[in-house]
Amino acid sequence: MNILVIEDEPGICRFLKEGLEEEGYHVTVASDGTKGLEQFNRSKPDLILLDRMLPGSDGIAVCREIRKSDKDTPVLFLTARDTVDETVEGLRAGANDYIKKPFSFEELLERIKIHFRKKQEDEPLTLGDLSLNKTTRQVFNGGAEVTLTQREFDLLEFLVRNKGCICTRDEIIDKVWNINFEYDTGVIDVYMNSLRKKLRMDKESGFIKTVRGVGYIANTFGKH
């Protein structure tokens, strides 16, 4: 995970870079707004820590500029200012969070983790040409929307979420049907047949393969 720190105080920059690198993050630092925007375009970070008061263009202007081309990358303001107006202004500019200086490193780290988790949850699940939006529960196959039933969606989501791993029939019944007792797993095949038909997937060469006697596996090696 790449974090871009845009901050003009060398002491804070060093403190953040060392601390975050120790936690396993890759950190790029920029000391003013202009360099920050250059770095943002070059390194495509996963998250941005942005100082509110910067020489040249301030944090608010930098955030607005970023949001012109990128609506998703979390931006966390670091600031000594914390009046309600300032907070609102930051959030209106498109920031996701506001951290008041002086902050504890542990608190910052927790906030970063929360935003990374949220970002991952918001990202669509994909498998080859398939894309699943978990929030709207829409499925697109090569850009064309496919209408699935609730259960078909849950089944597909489970397989795609675990892509590359074999999902056993018992696991599928347990996690998708919420049945954790002995149950006829033949129902899975009925749903799989319908799912494959709707997704126009070939039984043998599609993205979701049958593992005979065990279950199913989703992987991107198959072809439509």
Alpha-helical runs (H) found in 149-204: 150-161, 169-176, 186-198
Long-range contacts from 65-71, C-beta under 8 angstroms, 24+ separation:
65/37, 66/37, 66/40, 66/94, 67/93, 67/94, 70/40
Q: Should residue 32 be labelled a site residue for Ca ion when binding is judged by CB under 5 A?
A: no
User: Could you identify the residue written with the tokens 């918001």?
Assistant: 122
Q: How far is the CB of 62 from Ca ion (least distance, A)?
A: 12
Minimum CB distance to Ca ion smaller for 97 or for 152: 97
Q: How many residues bind Ca ion (CB under 5 A)?
A: 3
Which of 47-55, 83-91, 103-111, 157-165 is the region at the interface with Ca ion (rule: CB under 5 A)?
47-55
Q: Should residue 61 be labelled a site residue for Ca ion when binding is judged by CB under 5 A?
A: no
Handedness of CA 44, 143, 153, 160 (dihedral sign): negative
Minimum CB distance to Ca ion smaller for 81 or for 198: 81
- Window 6 to 25, contacts with Ca ion (CB under 5 A): 8
Member of 27, 32, 49, 51 binding Ca ion (CB under 5 A): 51
* CA–CA dist 59, 110 (Å, integer): 22
Minimum CB distance to Ca ion smaller for 10 or for 142: 10
| Helices 84-92 + 59-69 axis angle, to 10 | 30
Minimum CB distance to Ca ion smaller for 6 or for 20: 6
* CA–CA dist 102, 210 (Å, integer): 55
Which of 53-61, 68-76, 114-122, 203-211 is the region at the interface with Ca ion (rule: CB under 5 A)?
53-61
Q: How far is the CB of 39 from Ca ion (least distance, A)?
A: 16
Minimum CB distance to Ca ion smaller for 7 or for 152: 7
203 phi and psi angles, rounded to 5 deg: -60, -40
User: Could you identify the residue written with the tokens 């078909």?
Assistant: 152
Q: Should residue 170 be labelled a site residue for Ca ion when binding is judged by CB under 5 A?
A: no
Binding site for Ca ion (CB under 5 A): 8, 51, 53
